[in-house]
Amino acid sequence: MAGTLYVVATPLGNLGDLSARAAEVLRTVSVVAAEDTRRTRGLLSHLEASPTTLSFHAHSDDRRTEDILEILREGRDVALVSDAGTPAVSDPGTGLVAAVRAAGLSVIPIPGASAVATALSASGVPADRYLFLGFLPRKGAERARLLARLGEEEWTVVVFEAPLRLVLLLRDLAEAAGPDRRAVVARELTKIHEEFQEGTLAELADYYSENPPRGEVTVVVAGTGTPAAGPDRTEDAVEQATGLLAEGLSRREVARRLTETLGLSRNDAYRLVMGLP
């Protein structure tokens, strides 16, 4: 029989958060594929576990994936772990899991710690609906696009950031969402120096300018509470409707086409068409 790939969540910091099921898997699998083998060996030593460790990180090539697939085909089980938290959630692993599934092999999740859920649960910010954006690009058009999206987002938004770039992120967020938008910075979750700092984006930027942060950082930003305004398609609709009328189509048919192509409601499309000369 082929082996199983276990996707194992490991503690963010406090080793007491490792589930009994995760500990048992790490003690019994043949191989542990780890983002940082040195860090993972410390956890395995704590568990008195001695599987073979194999490096698997964001820059691993396809050959490493093939190595793991071959191990599974030989009938040996593999545990995939990241440095902390749940693999494949803003951490390496998505491609490997997809490849294992595509090969018809078994993938079993072993749930546990997640920085996203942990930060949300203690933030006091609504978490019934949220958008997770992971690490934003450091610069460029994609960063600007995501910041603009975050600024208009109705729901809570969660992002990760490195401590040395936190102040820049908070200032960019304040510009995109407004300086008075509420947010929470969760730092060093489950560790000795765990910290939750709440305030406006402007206040948080000032605080961390004076108190440079250390450790891993999760930022929870409150949403606007109202749906983002959609793009104004009036100009496009008028141009399209005028052209269709010139082709001899009936106003009813033109309204129907506007509904299909531009997503206007039937009432809005009909009113627009009837208002044209």
Model confidence pLDDT, tens digit, residues 183-229 = 999 999 999 999 999 999 999 999 999 999 999 999 999 999 987 65
**pLDDT mean across residues, the chain:** 94
Domain coordinates in residue numbering, the chain: 4-113, 116-221, 234-274
Instruction: Round to whole Å and give the CA distance between 68 and 77.
Output: 10
Question: Is the predicted pLDDT of residue 126 greater than 70, yes or no?
Answer: yes
pLDDT of residue 232: 66
CATH number of 116-221: 3.30.950.10
Q: Which of 116, 122, 113 is nearest to 11 (CA)?
A: 113
Q: Which residues contact 189 (CB under 8 A, 6 or more apart)?
A: 12, 13, 115, 118, 119, 216, 218
Confidence of residue 268 (pLDDT cuts 50, 70, 90): confident
Region 152-156: what's the mean pLDDT? 95
Q: Tell me the whole-structure pTM to 2 decimals.
A: 0.80
CATH topology of domain 4-113: Cobalt-precorrin-4 Transmethylase; domain 1 (3.40.1010)
